[in-house]
Amino acid sequence: MERTAVNPWDWSIKLGYNQAEVIDGATRQVICAGQTAVDGQGTPQHQGDMRAQISLALDNLEAVLKGAGMDLSNVVKLGIYATDVDEALKNFDLMGMRFGPHRVSPPMTLLGVTRLAIPGLMFEIEATAAA
């Protein structure tokens, strides 16, 4: 699979994502459901701690991708939902720490929402991956 970044402007690169990517040669896609800060039994974790919730949601996303034989380097699109966008952005260094070593900057959308499906959850990340 070959990824070609499309960035008519450079401002999004500074924020850690591309405006678009052309994906050539992919033969397999994985569509991941939104991952949140829940444990293996689906119980919410880290009430009131956005940073810990982002970290656990990323752990859960990595576990799903691993189960599909992929990792964060395969992610080609992200959708992120946060109940407090400002607080999420304060902790977005976690995204760079996870995706940076894979040298990918997938296009993403970050939306502020009133609440997530399970009360107490503040952050949800969904991904499309390809190989």
- The domain that contains 61 carries what CATH number? 3.30.1330.40
Report which of 7, 6, 1, 11 is spatially closest to residue 21, judged by C-alpha positions.
6
Residue 7 is assigned to a structural domain of this protein: no
Q: Which tokens hold the place of 72?
A: 């964060």
Please write down the HEC assignment for all residues of the chain: CEEEEECCCCHHHHCCCCCEEEEECCCCEEEEEEECCECCCCCECCCCCHHHHHHHHHHHHHHHHHHCCCCHHHEEEEEEEECCHHHHHHCCHHHHHHHHHHCCCCCEEEEECCCCCCCCCCEEEEEEEEC
pLDDT of 18 higher than 90: yes
pLDDT confidence of residue 85: 98
For residue 25, the one-letter residue type is G
Q: Could you tell me the residue range of the domain that residue 104 belongs to?
A: 28-130
Residue 4 is assigned to a structural domain of this protein: no
Number of independent structural domains in the chain: 1
Tens digits of residue pLDDT in 74-102: 999 999 999 999 999 999 999 999 999 99
pLDDT of 67 higher than 90: yes
Residue 2 is assigned to a structural domain of this protein: no
pLDDT of 20 higher than 90: yes
Stretch 64-78: mean pLDDT: 98
pLDDT confidence of residue 15: 86
Residue 15 is assigned to a structural domain of this protein: no
